[in-house]
Amino acid sequence: MNNYRELYSDEAEHALLGALMLDGDLFDSITASLTTADFHDPENAALFQVMIDLHATGAPVDPVTLHDFKSILPSGRATIAYAGELAKNTPSTANWRAYARTVAERAVLRRLVEAADAVRDSASENRPLAEIIASAQQAMADVRDLEGDEPKYRRLDEWMGDAASTVNDKHLGLIPDWPSFGLTDLDELVDGIRPKKITIIGGLPGSGKTTLALQAAQYNAIKRNDPWLVFSLEMPGEELGLRAIASLGGIELQRLSKPASKRGMRDEDWRAMVGAVAQANGAPLFVVEDPVQTPSSIRAEARRCQREHGLGGIVVDYLQLVKAETKGRTRSEEVGAISKAFLRISKELNVPVVLLSQLNRESTKRTGKKPQSSDLRDSGEVEADASCIILVHRDMDTEEGQNGLTEMLMTKCRHARVGSCIVQQQGQYGRFVNFAGREPTQEEVEANRPFAGRIKGRANHE
């Protein structure tokens, strides 16, 4: 007896396909719970796909209509002969649920075996242990638990009841506010970094997108004791630590980088550094500095962090550096698949995922040089998957930009009105602060008049 016989059931596949042709009312129920990939026999999978394509045209599904739609199956066999044989040999449609469950269960078993084989192959290739574990966890996450016959839909009033309870609990202080950036005007504009959603922070190199994302993670972890996990694919962890000291302690990065130089550390800087480290002591802000990451390895590390410490949010710096699980036809296709994977992670873990993204250079050729959502590099799907898009714009060709004036352009938001606000970038401290000066008028911006005397920032001391 074949040891792998239990991994598929030709009888169940045949009976299920026969039931589809004998009772058209079963079509939606069966196709809602199974896909073409769930069939083991390529002939059965091909016939099932022909049935789906034919049904989409509005035509009834039976051996004759299937033959008229596609006369030959990939194996070279006549569609009418194979379909007719299956319909003839199906004793009854009454047990279709049992057939469908058998087909689905065997498909899950095959995927488990494939996952185990993949892990074994990875081990024999002498790959790093962490990479093997991440691949195994991803494979297991992709094998979804079988769902019963319960419908996936709920009445709108049930969802309204859940939403009303959330509003009431927030009003009573029973659940915390959404995570925020810790910058007054930006938080008012964005109205919270929402869980189960993707927030994109885009910008050109050097615009400050990394500073903004890290500051958000830092604020929520240190000020609100909410665990956040940062994946830094480009910047070493020690450099992130240096930036945190500068930001929290108000110490110039140049002094920290060259402490023994003429403009190095002063007595007050040493005291400020001790204070900055004390502020962050024990704060649940975790950093992964590995430059080689895939969605599966990020999911695995995030699940572990959530299990051991809790998890309030994830930052990935940055999207275009994440490796695709599978090779796509184009880089744009790969980035789109990666974006979809992060959307699934945010829903699975019930946390916000903040993705940093590079922009292409089209915005620099535009009048005013302001970026748009369409400037996100590599994929339009990134724009589609995001719930909120914030583009960091600092025009270094103007005096305002040279003095740190930065505009946060919220070009997409599913829970608030799009708009923009001004913040003050303090690059010497690696941070943003609230803007306390007067915003320039449009006429002044176009005239490129100086604002150095009116640009200032104030720290948010929440």
With respect to residue 168, please indicate whether it lies within any of the assigned structural domains: no
The confidence score (pLDDT) of residue 440 equals 56
Q: Is the pLDDT of residue 458 over 70?
A: no
Residue reference for tokens 């959603």 = 197
CB 340 within 8 A of CB 328: no
- Give percent helix, percent strand, percent coil of the chain, each to the nearest 5: 50, 15, 35
Instruction: Answer with the one of 105, 128, 155 that is the final residue of a domain.
Output: 105
| Average pLDDT of the segment spanning 224-230 | 91
Q: Is the pLDDT of residue 96 over 60?
A: yes
Q: Is the pLDDT of residue 5 over 70?
A: no
Q: What is the pLDDT of residues 59-83, one digit of tens each?
A: 888 999 998 888 898 888 899 999 8
Q: Are residues 288 and 367 in the same domain?
A: yes
The confidence score (pLDDT) of residue 439 equals 58
Q: Is the pLDDT of residue 347 over 70?
A: yes
The confidence score (pLDDT) of residue 138 equals 61
Here the tokens at position 370 are 């302001």
Q: Is the pLDDT of residue 447 over 70?
A: no
Backbone angles phi, psi at 240, to 5 degrees: -65, -40
- Domain of residue 47 covers 5-105
Q: Are residues 207 and 97 in the same domain?
A: no
CB count, 10 Å around CB of 232? 24
Q: Which of 39-43, 138-142, 324-328, 405-409 has the lowest mean pLDDT?
A: 138-142
With respect to residue 212, please indicate whether it lies within any of the assigned structural domains: yes
Q: Are residues 62 and 207 in the same domain?
A: no
Q: Which of 3-7, 47-51, 195-199, 297-301 has the lowest mean pLDDT?
A: 3-7
Q: Is the pLDDT of residue 289 over 80?
A: yes
With respect to residue 34, please indicate whether it lies within any of the assigned structural domains: yes
* Per-residue pLDDT band at 459 (split at 50, 70, 90): low
Q: Are residues 249 and 391 in the same domain?
A: yes
CA angle, residues 196, 407, 372, in degrees to nearest 5: 65
* Per-residue pLDDT band at 453 (split at 50, 70, 90): very low
* Per-residue pLDDT band at 163 (split at 50, 70, 90): confident
Domain count, the chain: 2
Q: Are residues 100 and 181 in the same domain?
A: no
With respect to residue 298, please indicate whether it lies within any of the assigned structural domains: yes
Q: Which of 62-66, 140-144, 208-212, 361-365 has the lowest mean pLDDT?
A: 140-144
The confidence score (pLDDT) of residue 353 equals 94
Name which residue leads in pLDDT, 166 or 65.
65
The confidence score (pLDDT) of residue 231 equals 92
pLDDT > 90 in the chain, percent: 11
Strand-pairing partners, residue 336, are none
Strand-pairing partners, residue 458, are 434
The confidence score (pLDDT) of residue 228 equals 92
With respect to residue 124, please indicate whether it lies within any of the assigned structural domains: no
Q: Are residues 63 and 183 in the same domain?
A: no
With respect to residue 11, please indicate whether it lies within any of the assigned structural domains: yes
Q: Are residues 201 and 342 in the same domain?
A: yes
Q: Are residues 88 and 203 in the same domain?
A: no
Q: Is 447 exposed, middle or buried (0-12, 13-18, 19+ CB in 10 A)?
A: exposed
Spatial strand order of the sheet with 419-426 comes to 285-288, 228-232, 313-317, 353-358, 198-203, 388-393, 405-413, 419-426, 431-435, 457-458
CA angle, residues 457, 458, 462, in degrees to nearest 5: 145
* Per-residue pLDDT band at 153 (split at 50, 70, 90): low
Q: Which of 119-133, 162-176, 180-194, 314-328 has the lowest mean pLDDT?
A: 119-133
The confidence score (pLDDT) of residue 4 equals 47
- pTM of the complete model: 0.65
Q: Are residues 218 and 298 in the same domain?
A: yes
| Average pLDDT of the segment spanning 138-156 | 57
Listed residue (161, 226, 155) closest to 195, CA to CA: 226
Q: Which of 173-177, 199-203, 286-290, 458-462 has the lowest mean pLDDT?
A: 458-462
With respect to residue 240, please indicate whether it lies within any of the assigned structural domains: yes
Q: Is the peptide bond before 318 cis (omega within 30 degrees of 0)?
A: yes
Q: Are residues 61 and 186 in the same domain?
A: no
Q: Are residues 289 and 438 in the same domain?
A: yes
The confidence score (pLDDT) of residue 145 equals 45
| Average pLDDT of the segment spanning 394-414 | 86
CB 261 within 8 A of CB 324: no
| Average pLDDT of the segment spanning 25-52 | 85
The confidence score (pLDDT) of residue 389 equals 92
Q: What is the pLDDT of residues 354-388, one digit of tens each?
A: 999 888 877 677 776 788 888 887 767 788 888 89
The confidence score (pLDDT) of residue 441 equals 56
With respect to residue 144, please indicate whether it lies within any of the assigned structural domains: no
| Average pLDDT of the segment spanning 124-146 | 62
| Average pLDDT of the segment spanning 96-123 | 81
What is the CATH number for 266?
3.40.50.300
Instruction: Answer with the one of 46, 81, 105 that is the final residue of a domain.
Output: 105
Q: Is the pLDDT of residue 117 over 60?
A: yes
Instruction: Answer with the one of 75, 105, 135 that is the final residue of a domain.
Output: 105
Q: Is the pLDDT of residue 32 over 60?
A: yes
Q: Is the pLDDT of residue 215 over 60?
A: yes
What is the CATH number for 47?
1.10.860.10
Q: Is the pLDDT of residue 314 over 90?
A: yes
